[in-house]
Amino acid sequence: LQNNQVLGIGSGSTVVHAVHRLAQRVREENLSIVCIPTSFQVSAALLSSLWMLPRRDFHSRFLLLLQLDVAIDGADEVDSDLNLIKGGGGCLTQEKIVAGYAKCFIVIADYRKRSQSLGEHWKKGIPIEVIPMAYVPVSRALSRSFGGTAELRMAVSKAGPVVTDNGNFILDWKFDKVHDWSEVNTAIKMIPG
């Protein structure tokens, strides 16, 4: 962390600890930094630390105007080839955008997230953010192309599906075999919706 950096901050249980440490360093070293949060959860954590870019100013125009120096995010599982499952907490698209525009992307994952192959420990499936009107055809396309099942993630404390910060739904694709993850990643991105 250096003075005058622009940081993208992802979400998740591990990143919350990183936010607290960043706040401590900003106070102790009198650093001037700009943080771009990827979710409401991180916005709230940063607001409580009183040193972030307000959520209302998080728009794509800032990604175009500001060069992000570093993006920090967590992972749900990391395999031996450093493939990641991300998005278990429901923040996918904004995390991907911020990570994509950063010069350096850092993933924080402790020993509990490590596995030999994806799906070994994380049994909830690979989260995929979808436009609400497309969740059925995307679910079918995933099963048809790669096997397994894609299930609409349902909310726990309210009726209906989980809705992301972007107003989208999340499919959790539970795959049933080992895949070439680079190939699957590219193919999923090409599915409309």
Q: What is the mean pLDDT of each run of 10 residues along the chain (193 residues)?
A: 80 74 83 78 66 44 67 91 88 86 89 91 93 96 94 91 91 90 93 95
Task: Check if the beta carbon of residue 108 is closer than 8 Å to that of residue 18.
Answer: yes
Predicted pLDDT of residue 48 = 65
The tokens for 97 are: 């955008």
Q: For this structure, is 95 an active site residue?
A: yes
- Measured in degrees and rounded to the nearest 5, phi and psi for residue 122 equal -85, 105
Predicted pLDDT of residue 16 = 72
pTM: 0.81
Q: Find the angle CA(28)-CA(29)-CA(33) to the nearest 5 degrees.
A: 110
What's the rounded Cα separation, in Å, for the pair 152 and 149? 10
Residue 125: strand, helix, or coil: coil
What's the rounded Cα separation, in Å, for the pair 142 and 125? 12
> Catalytic: which of 28, 29, 77, 95?
95
- For 6-113, the fitting CATH number among 3.30.70.890, 3.40.50.1360, 3.90.1300.10, 3.50.50.60 is 3.40.50.1360
Query: To the nearest 10°, the Cα dihedral for 102, 105, 106, 112?
Result: 130
Q: Find the angle CA(7)-CA(12)-CA(14) to the nearest 5 degrees.
A: 85
Q: Is the domain covering 126-190 a CATH 3.30.70.260 domain?
A: yes
Q: Which of 89, 97, 39 is nearest to 71 (CA)?
A: 97
Give me Rg for the CA atoms of the chain: 17
What residue spans define the domains of the chain? 6-113, 126-190
Q: What's 155's DSSP letter?
A: P
